[in-house]
Amino acid sequence: MKTKRDFLRIWDLSSKEITFLIERAIELKSGIDANKCPLIGKSIGLLFEKASTRTRVSMEVAIYQLGAQSIYMSQKEMQIGRGETIHDTAKVLSRYLDAVVIRTFSHMNLIEFASHSSIPVINGLSDIHHPCQALADLMTILEKKGHLKSIRLAYLGDGNNVANSLIEAASVMGMDLSIACPKGCEPNPDVFKKANSFKKSRITILKDPGEATHKADAVYTDVWVSMGQEKDAPRKKRKFKNYQLNADLLSNAKKDAIVLHCMPAHRGEEITDDVIDGPQSVVFDQAENRLHIQKALLEFFLT
């Protein structure tokens, strides 16, 4: 029997495994094995605390196309929302399902669930990590640039879960990453410190977005205010006003630089319409790639 593994953060995979997953996702995107259903007869739960468009739809479609069935479970509709323990929920769902994808506020709750689960647990998003998104980002960069090693990636904005996962991805795959954010909005310090110990890439945290984007191959941004942080919106918007990805800031990057955004985008805040809809934008290819990378991921963990 295959040993149970979880995917809670990028560092749960080796560089070799990430390369395999990206190559497999590109194969699946091309239509290879379109009629094969390697997960037929399996049931995969989607346990979501947070609202979702891309994660839910891409996961449900991926599961269907692989021949399995998805079961969407909102916390509001589950007993866990009425006080049942994570321990009990994990134990019970392990008896019914073959894997579970969790989209949650607390990464610690995700770790606790995985520790009591006998089936694979996949992080669909937590407050510290967004690993499925980072895999799709790597896939998109490879498609557009032809390689990952020594790519110069600039990230502008809040040091959130997306930034943390990009740091882990860069450290494993040998990309150089510059993160520009105001003081007090830096990524997780433990992630940053450990990533730099890998010595495969150069990861820096800067205050100046112009310096971060200088001669970048790819420029990435995300919303300034994540779900659950709405009360801090006015303060954050003031702090981030100089970090907007607009045409002037993009001009610091290479002429053939690509623009990335994990979406949803707050147009006119962290990114302007002319940039997200411009010729350098690959954000909709990036969104599509969530589907293909998750098919590869589910196949990898469940076959």
Give the domain ranges of the chain: 10-130+290-302, 132-286
**Which residues are CB-neighbours of 129 under 8 A, at least 6 positions away?**
8, 9, 10, 107, 123, 161, 164, 165, 168
Spot the catalytic one: 133, 280, 286, 294: 133
Known catalytic membership, residue 103: yes
Across 215-234, average pLDDT? 88
Q: Do domains 10-130+290-302 and 132-286 have the same CATH topology?
A: yes
107 in active site: no
Percent of the chain with pLDDT over 90: 90
- Known catalytic residue at 280: no
Is residue 298 a contact partner of residue 257, using CB atoms and an 8 Å limit? Answer: no
Q: Which residue is catalytic, options 9, 129, 130, 292?
A: 130
Output the average pLDDT for the chain: 96
* CB-based contact 152:215 (threshold 8 Å): yes
Which pLDDT score is estimated for 1?
64
> Is residue 147 among the annotated active site residues?
no
Report the distance separating Cα 141 and Cα 159, nearest Å.
20
| Residue of 75, 262, 292, 294 marked active site | 262
290 is catalytic: yes
69 flagged as catalytic: no
Question: Domain 132-286, CATH 3.40.50.1370 — does that match?
Answer: yes
Angstrom distance (rounded) from CA 189 to CA 131: 17
Residue tagged active-site, from 103, 107, 129, 292: 103
Q: How confident is the model at residue 294 (pLDDT cuts 50, 70, 90)?
A: very high
pLDDT at 76 over 90: no
Run of H or E residues at 253: none
Q: For the segment 18-36, what is each residue's pLDDT rounded down to a tens digit? A: 999 999 999 999 999 988 9
Cα separation, 268 vs 70, whole angstroms: 36
CATH dotted code for 10-130+290-302: 3.40.50.1370
pLDDT at 172: 97
- 43-48 and 69-74 strand pairing: parallel
The single residue of 9, 107, 290, 292 carrying the catalytic annotation is 290
Catalytic residue among 127, 158, 217, 222: 222
- Residue 230: pLDDT above 80? no
The band of 232, judged by pLDDT with boundaries at 50, 70 and 90, is confident
- DSSP strands (E only) in 3-112: 43-48, 69-74, 99-103
Contact present, 91 and 112 (Cβ < 8 Å)? no
Residue in this structure with the two tokens 């779900």, named with its chain if needed: 227
Name residue 177's beta-bridge partners: 153, 203
